[in-house]
Structure 1
Amino acid sequence: MLVHIVDDNDTNLMLFEQIVRRVDAEVTIACYPDPLTALVDCSRQMADLVLLDYMMPGIDGHEYVRRMRAMPGARDVPIVMITAAADRFVRQTALELGVTDFLTKPVDPSEMRVRVTNLLALRRNHLRLRDQNRWLAEEVRHATRAVLEREEELIVRLAKAAEFRDPETGSHIVRMAHYSRLIACGLGLPDDLCQLIFKAAPMHDVGKLGTPDMILLKPGRLDDAEMEVMRRHPVIGHAILSGSSSHLIQLGAEIAITHHEKYDGTGYPYGIAGENIPISGRIVAVADVFDALTSRRPYKPAWEMERARLYVSDNIGLHFDPRCVEVFLAAWPEILDIRSRFADPVEPERSLV
């Protein structure tokens, strides 16, 4: 514990120091005849208790308290001001500035001992409680981080489960998640929402877990009846993910149900249009379609990047939100980089022997 004694009278400094020593021999005491020097030292290492004379050269006790209370960590430090008995206005102003207690001149040593003892005990309890609160806050942060990590692990595992049943590769969900975050950031969405979209985007097709293999794995194009079954996967995905208290999984449910909606209202499952489609769904629609076009599937070869770029551009206002496409095309170098970094593995050629 550190006690500052600020008084321009050397006799008072000696007397007050002796009284504080009798209260607690382990306390560090710093005496200051100059209040400005005391303030400088206090800014470097905050005191735990200040005994402060009101009448001092340079600045008075009021100004000292005003400057000290403005320092970081000084709000809860006890300050005892020493004033004359008749200085009622001085005391009232001091209380408004944040003085904790008063001593009246001439100071009674017994009274000072009691006040110093009580205020040092109060300060110790405050510091102990503060440290405990910091520890508890850190434990809460650790627990929250663990919960978030488990949520993210669950999402990855759900996406992988859908991947095992779907001819799409794991690289697809990685790329489209990065494209989605790139678009979200380009739209100026808050950083935390951009990160949530990045983590939730891989859940977009989790509803394919409920799609029959004969349709999901069909090498050719689907007929109308089969397409009708395939188009149920957004609703299935939403049913799997909805009802969670997690913001991340809630966003995943929103993306699952809306990523096949189209800006002109011709999408599915509900045919909603324009900005009635949540922004997460509009973002993922661009990212998902673009990567699906540029990826090889059992029923089609991969498109060239430029051909897919033109397709996205040609469908502004039809399939895609114009703002999302504008941001996507403006970030073309980053798109190419993502495509390169997370390229699909090259399958080895099969031997004819």
Structure 2
Amino acid sequence: MTTLPDFRLETHFSRWEFNARHHMTASDSQTMAMSDLLALADEEDRAAWEDVTLGYTETYGAPALRAAIAATYEGLSAADILCFAGAEEGLYCAMLALLSPDDHAIVTVPNYQSMETLPVTIAGAVTGVPLRPENNWRLDIADVRATLRPNTRLICVNFPNNPTGAIADQQTFRALADLCAERGIHLFSDEVYRGLERDSALRLPQAAELFERGVSLNVMSKAYGLPGLRIGWIACRDRALLERMEKMKHYLSICNSRPSEVLATIALKARATILDRNRALVAANLDKLSGFFAGFPGLYEWQAPDGGCVGFARYLGADGVEAHCRSLVEEAGILLLPSSLFVSDLLRVATDRFRVGFGRKDIEIGLEAWRRHLG
């Protein structure tokens, strides 16, 4: 691999995430205190927490954690799970294990940068498939078919999508899995926002459930709101692929934090409670955010996303979205992410958009500061 380019979004966050007074573009759900999480533990896991030691754990992940993760999938077992120190490590290992310089990959655009940058760096060729605003950012299977090549080895998708919040419809997603199965292509599916759909009928099956080459990425950070645990995983029934990724993990984290694994196990067993709480907060915040945008019809164009806790709003002002976001953060301490942080080497991304988040509590405080700034 050559040197990777700067991660635009994370570089921007390094400057502003913990300095801006109002983090209005956060991509995770509201977190919780350690005491609140421990209150959800059953007797077995409470004992595991009280007796936890600070030694190494298994590279694949603690057996109890992998069993708890496997229970979130239909038809998978703990042997189909490989844990990582967050989702990014899993994505990195997967791309290295799945692609070579002779391969062609397909990636949806817009996207989270590393899902595009890594294939572009590793594979011989990468093609972007557009998620179009005029189609509510939904995937069109015809676009995927049009980009296929004889050496296509991987298709990468992310639903609910970051930054748009779009979800592919059920028929399209299953058709995509069938297409990959027919052609022996791995389907890499970033599912970190699964569980935060506005309507449960929109919730997609997980790629790993559908066929052997389905690769599902998930993490405790986004829908669960527990990014400080740094626990992510890949679920896949292609165990030879998991073995290749495990060998790459030996050069990275080697293993996860043992205390974090116990805490993640508690959270996964209590996932219904946690996800219900987070969906309720997202729904309430979405109403407040939609009301805010409705008050400024000459400045913003907004459509509530299908799921997740971020959306891609349109800015209509004459000064442009880059200047608008810069003035908001520098003058009012309001952090948003302009579309320049989501540019793609593969396809043009709309230049009048910004990412806004609505997964955390007290959103009305940031919205009021935003109103004051607009005068």
Q: Please classify the TM superposition score into its range, dividing by the shorter chain length.
A: under 0.3
Structure with the greater alpha carbon radius of gyration:
1
Relative CO higher for 1 or 2, CA cutoff 8 Å, sep ≥ 6?
A: 2
Q: How high is the TM-score relative to the length of structure 1?
A: 0.21
Please state which structure has a larger fraction of its residues in strand.
2
Q: How high is the TM-score relative to the length of structure 2?
A: 0.20
